[in-house]
Amino acid sequence: MVKVSVDLLLRNGIVIVEGREKRRSVAIRTGKIEGIYERGMEPRAEKTIDCDGRYILPGVIDIHVHLRDLEQPDKEDYISGTRSAAAGGVTTVVDMPNSQPPVLTREVLDMKIERARQGRHVNVGFYAGIPAESERFHASTKIDVLGLKVYPHAPLDGSTFNLKRIEESLKLANEMRLPLLFHPDSAQPMVKVRSVEHYLETHSCDSEVESISQFIRIHKEVGGRLHVCHVSCAASAKMIIDNRAEDRLTAETTPHHLFLSDADFSHEDGTAKMLPPLRTPQDNQALRDALCKCGIDVVASDHAPHTLGEKMTSFINAKSGIPGLETIVPLMLTEVFEGRFSWVEYLRMCSSGPANLLGLLGKGVLSKGYDADVIVVARESYPIEGKKFQSKAKVTPFEGKTVNARPVVTIIGGNPVYEDGKFLVGPGSVGTVPVRPLIRPRNT
Ligand code: NCD
Ligand code: ZN
């Protein structure tokens, strides 16, 4: 009998080698990438997937998602949310703490970990919130989370935020050797929105910039690692670029803030309602430039599912947030295929950059020895259709937009999970929960 040397061979696809497209096969053994081979040099494999004409890429690591569950399964649960990730070509998601109940205690985090273990189809990591009295934060939480997240305009405990809390939050994050992530918005909590204009004014670029400047000011005194979530304005990107030093200040933006602007929508309903709001084409361009200049490190979806009823109502009554797990890869790769981002930029923004940011060594790169979290993508033109999403949330501002990349196979730790519209495994059988860093990035 011939000796089988690898578990899975992705045969004859297109692999990005030193920034260029090359025809190669990718071999996987015991959950890791065994090697990348030229035609005719491949090892024998127990199972082969023909990738002729398709791209073999590292899966996307999406560091900003809201998978809901617990008391909000009508919006999303870990089964539907991680199926949405797998179908979208996202192999690792990091779940935000603004669930119901929010992650302000060790007990709630444990419940979320348990639910995610049962429902998982991809790797799931977590963030924790910070209780109003930060000394109540349970130190044992730190090993199971990848960062601490604060919402100055809507604190998770319903209280109010001030400069003292920014300082306490940064100090706590430093003590735990975790990055502090923040939603940049200095709007007063609980503002009752009266109109579309009032909403946009309340959550304006000035409000975003003011919040970023407060955090940066205190960060300069306290030190540690600070991450700005979903940067949406040109002025914010400039402020971040002007204040960056090594990896202590990092930032992300989203596909919707890169590709959509507010004037594209009439706002009769909540289809394009999210926080931060959409801005202008000038902001889109500034974010693109900042990404290419490494002023912004990563692109994340901010997948924020709500029910149909919560979105299909008047703009002012609708909930903020849109699904993003099934559009991030098609949208970002369309930019690559149409020549607006290079392969190196794409891989840094969507896979290796987010892995580095959270210390997920061993993930985010398609190379020998790395985790076999891999996707296969077909170059194919089609319109985005929310009704086809695996997510429970099906209302997207990208409805009807033509993209030309379709994730067709998703492999988690060497296991094919999704292939051509079908799930090959049930919930809870593949993926790591919680994802932990192999090393903690140094905080100071
Ligand atoms: C998010 C949500 O619904 O949880 N909404 C949104 O519009 N992005 C909250 C958030 O990310 O701030
Ligand atoms: Zn969010």
Q: What is the CA radius of gyration of the chain?
A: 21
User: What pLDDT, on a 0 to 100 scale, did the predictor assign at position 80?
Assistant: 98
pLDDT per position as a tens digit, 282-301: 999 999 999 999 899 999 99
User: What pLDDT, on a 0 to 100 scale, did the predictor assign at position 4?
Assistant: 63
Q: Is 275 in the pocket of ligand 1 (CB under 6 A)?
A: yes
The span from the CA of 25 to the CA of 29, in Å, is: 13
Whether pLDDT at 373 is above 90: yes
If pLDDT is split at 50, 70 and 90, which confidence band does 438 have? confident
Q: Is 304 in the pocket of ligand 1 (CB under 6 A)?
A: yes
Whether pLDDT at 443 is above 60: no
Whether pLDDT at 312 is above 60: yes
- Closest ligand 1 atom to 319 CA: 3
pLDDT per position as a tens digit, 228-280: 999 999 999 999 999 997 669 999 999 999 999 999 999 999 999 999 999 99
Mean pLDDT of 205-217: 98
The span from the CA of 51 to the CA of 25, in Å, is: 8
Whether pLDDT at 425 is above 90: yes
User: What pLDDT, on a 0 to 100 scale, did the predictor assign at position 190?
Assistant: 75
Nearest CA to ligand 1 atom 10: 275
Is 98:151 a contact under the CB 8 Å cutoff? yes
Mean pLDDT of 127-149: 95
Least distant ligand from the CA of 99: 1
Mutate to test the pocket of ligand 1, among 228, 320, 322 (most ligand atoms within 8 A of CB): 320
Q: Which residues of 45-69 are buried (b: 16+ CB within 10 A; e: fewer)?
A: beebbebeebbbbbbbbbbbbbbbb
In the chain, % helix, strand, coil (3-state, to 5) comes to 30, 25, 45
- Closest ligand 1 atom to 306 CA: 3
Mean pLDDT of the chain: 96
pLDDT per position as a tens digit, 39-72: 999 999 999 999 999 999 999 999 999 999 999 9
What percent of the chain has a predicted confidence (pLDDT) above 90? 94
pLDDT per position as a tens digit, 139-191: 999 999 999 999 999 999 988 899 999 999 999 999 999 999 999 999 988 77
The span from the CA of 51 to the CA of 362, in Å, is: 24
Q: Which fold has domain 59-357?
A: TIM Barrel (3.20.20)
Whether pLDDT at 77 is above 80: yes
Whether pLDDT at 137 is above 50: yes
Nearest CA to ligand 1 atom 5: 321
Is 50:408 a contact under the CB 8 Å cutoff? no
Q: Is 302 in the pocket of ligand 1 (CB under 6 A)?
A: yes
What percent of the chain has a predicted confidence (pLDDT) above 70? 97
| Spacing, Cα 321 to ligand 1 middle (Å) | 5
Is 122:417 a contact under the CB 8 Å cutoff? yes
The span from the CA of 8 to the CA of 29, in Å, is: 7
| Spacing, Cα 164 to ligand 2 middle (Å) | 23
pLDDT per position as a tens digit, 377-396: 999 999 999 999 999 999 99
pLDDT per position as a tens digit, 94-123: 999 999 999 999 999 999 999 999 999 999
If pLDDT is split at 50, 70 and 90, which confidence band does 442 have? low
Mutate to test the pocket of ligand 1, among 275, 301, 310, 315 (most ligand atoms within 8 A of CB): 275
| Spacing, Cα 285 to ligand 1 middle (Å) | 23
Q: Is 301 in the pocket of ligand 1 (CB under 6 A)?
A: no
- Closest ligand 1 atom to 321 CA: 7
Whether pLDDT at 8 is above 90: yes
**Residue of 47, 1, 55, 2 lying closest to 28 (CA atoms):** 47
pTM above 0.95, yes or no: yes
If pLDDT is split at 50, 70 and 90, which confidence band does 440 have? low
The domain locations on the chain are 59-357
If pLDDT is split at 50, 70 and 90, which confidence band does 444 have? very low
DSSP for 257-303?
HHH-BGGG---SSSTT--SSPPB-HHHHHHHHHHHHTTSS-EE---B
Mean pLDDT of 196-224: 97
Q: Is 390 in the pocket of ligand 1 (CB under 6 A)?
A: no
Q: Which amino acid makes up residue 102?
A: P
